[in-house]
Amino acid sequence: MADELKRGLEGVLVAESELSHIDGDAGRLIYRGYTIEDLARNASYEEVLYLLWHGDLPTREELDSFSSSMAEERHLEAGAYDEIRELAEQDEEPMAALRTVVSSFSAYDPDSDVEDVTDEDVNARKGRRITAKIPTALAAFNRLRNGEEPVEPREDLGHAANFLYMLNDEEPDEVLAETFDMALVLHVDHGLNASTFSAMVTASTLAELHSAITSAVGTLSGSLHGGANANVMKMLKEVDDSDSDPTEWVKNALDEGRRVPGFGHRVYNVKDPRAKILGEKSEELGEAAGDTKWYEMSVAIEEYIGEEKGLAPNVDFYSASTYYQMGIPIDIYTPIFALSRVGGWIAHVLEQYDDNRLIRPRARYVGDEDNEWVDIDER
C-alpha cells in the first residue's frame, strides 16, 4: 500500500465521474461536455439539472414535464413551517437553519421508508423534492426572521424567479430573474469539491439521500468553501467603510497574514471561468444602476492580488457584488450556493450509489506506541 501522504487529498483520484470536468490550467469548466459559458448563456437551471441527473439535454417536452414535476414539489408541510418559524425566532445562523431543515425534510418524504437507498426511481423523486423545497424553506426563513409571513410558492414561475418572488413577495423583473438563474447554473456542479465529496462519503456507507445532502450543507458552510461568498461582501463593505484605497486595504490584510476571501483555488491555477462571467454581470448591474463602485473595487483588488500573490478570483469573488446589487441579504449568499449546488450533490450521490464502494482512507499514525496502562487514581 502506498504510504505517500497527500494532505487535503490534493490531486488524489478517488472516483470516475461523467458529470463535470475542470481544466485548472486552461480555466475551462464543462458539465457533461458542455462549456460553462454555453450553459450560462443558454440554459435554465432546470435544463442543467436535467442534463446532470438524466445524462442528456432535455427536449422541450421533457423539460416542460420535468420542470412541472419540480414545481409541484415546492410546497412545504405545516410542520416544516413550524420548524422554520422556531429557527427564525432563535435567530439561527442561516446555513445552520438550512442544514436543520434539509435534514428534517426526510420526515415528510413519502419515500423515506423505502429500504433500498440506491433505488433510482425513489432517488429521482427524493432529489426533485429536496431541490424544489430548499428555496421555499430559505425564503420562508428569511421572511420569518424579519417579522414577515412566508410567501407560498408559485408553480407558474421558473425555479430562479419563484425563489426571488418568495423572498421579496414581488415577482422579479426579467433582468433579476435571468441573472439569478444564470448564477444557479454557474454554481450547480464543480467536480469533487469538498461538499460534494462529503455527500459522496456519506452515501458510500449506504446512508440515504437526505443524510448525504445534510452532510454536504454542513461542509459547504465553511469559510474556505461556500462560506467565502458572504465574506467577500463583508470585506468589500469593510473597505468601503474604511474610506481607504482598496489595494492599500488588501495590502494590509495580506501583511497581517490574512487570507483574502474569493481568491485562490485547489484546482484552478488561473481565473475561474465562473468568476469571469459573474464579473461581467456585476459590471452590468452596476452600469444599469448608475453606480459601478462595487465592481470597480473588486477589479482593483483582483489586479493587486494577481500582481502581488499570483492568485486569481474564484467563483465566490464576483457572485458577492452580483448578489449585493440584486438586493439579496449577505448572510444568505451561502445558503443560495446550497440552493443551486444541491443539484450537483444529488447527481454525484447517484453516481456513487450506481458504483458504490465504501470511501475510507487512512491516516499515518504519528501517536505514541507501547504506553503502559496507569490506573485512574495513579495518574
Ligand X SMILES: CC(=O)SCCNC(=O)CCNC(=O)[C@H](O)C(C)(C)COP(=O)(O)OP(=O)(O)OC[C@H]1O[C@@H](n2cnc3c(N)ncnc32)[C@H](O)[C@@H]1OP(=O)(O)O
Kindly state the smallest distance separating residue 320's Cβ from ligand X, in Å: 10
Cα gap 19→351, rounded to integer Å: 9
Pick the catalytic residue: 109, 159, 316, 348? Answer: 316
Q: Is 14 exposed, middle or buried (0-12, 13-18, 19+ CB in 10 A)?
A: middle
State yes or no: is 316 an active-site residue. yes
**Shortest distance, CB of residue 297 to ligand OAA, whole angstroms?**
22
* Contacted by 263, from ligand OAA, ligand X, none: CB < 5 to 8 Å by type: ligand X
Cα–Cα distance measured from residue 212 to residue 219, given in angstroms and rounded to the nearest whole number: 11
Taking the least distance from each CB to ligand OAA, the nearer of 83 and 181 is 181
What is the CA 42 to chain-centroid distance, rounded?
21
DSSP H or E segment with residue 231: helix 228-242
Binding site for ligand X (CB under 6 A): 8, 193, 224-226, 228, 259-266, 309, 311, 314-316
Binding mask 181-220 for ligand OAA (x = CB under 6 A): ---------xx-x---------------------------
At its nearest, how many Å lie between ligand X and the CB of residue 192? 12
Give which of 285, 337, 75 is closest to 173, Cα–Cα.
285
Count, residues near ligand OAA per rule CB under 6 A: 7
Quote the least distance from Cβ 187 to ligand X, whole Å.
Answer: 8
Between residues 123 and 231, which has the closer beta carbon with respect to ligand X? 231
Which residues in the 243-282 window bind ligand OAA by CB under 6 A?
266-267
- Which of 315, 320, 328, 347 touches ligand OAA (CB under 6 A)? 315
314 binds ligand OAA (CB under 6 A): yes
CA-to-CA distance for 298 and 345, rounded, in angstroms?
Answer: 30
Q: 120 in helix, strand or coil?
A: helix
Length, in residues, of the chain: 379
Which listed option, ligand X, ligand OAA, none, makes contact with residue 261 (CB within 5 to 8 Å by class)? ligand X
Residue 49 C-beta: closest distance to ligand OAA, Å = 16
Contacts of residue 289, Cβ cutoff 8 Å, sequence gap at least 6: 325
Distance CA 187, CA 339 (A): 9
CB-side neighbour CA atoms (13 Å) of 158: 21
Least Cα distance to 132 among 69, 62, 210 occurs for: 69
Tell me which residue has cell 452596476: 286
Closest CB to ligand X among 161 and 330?
330
Residue 145 lies near ligand OAA (rule: CB under 6 A): no
User: How far from chain centre, in Å, is Cα 150?
Assistant: 23
* Complex with ligand OAA: residue 193 or 321, whichever CB lies closer: 193
Look at residue 74 and give the partner it binds from ligand OAA, ligand X, none, a contact being a CB closer than 5 to 8 Å depending on partner kind: none
Of the pair 54, 237, the CB lying nearest ligand X is at 237
Closest residue to ligand OAA in the complex (CB) = 193
Q: What value, to the nearest 5°, has the Cα angle with vertex 263 and ends 260 and 268?
A: 155
CB atoms inside a 10 Å sphere around CB 309: 13
Residue 189 is among the residues annotated as catalytic for this protein = no
262 binds, among ligand OAA, ligand X, none (CB under 5 to 8 A by kind): ligand X
Q: Verify binding: residue 348, ligand OAA, rule CB under 6 A.
A: no
Residue of 285, 79, 45, 281 whose CA lies nearest to 163: 45
| Catalytic residue annotation | 265, 316
**Site for ligand OAA, rule CB under 6 A:** 190-191, 193, 266-267, 314-315
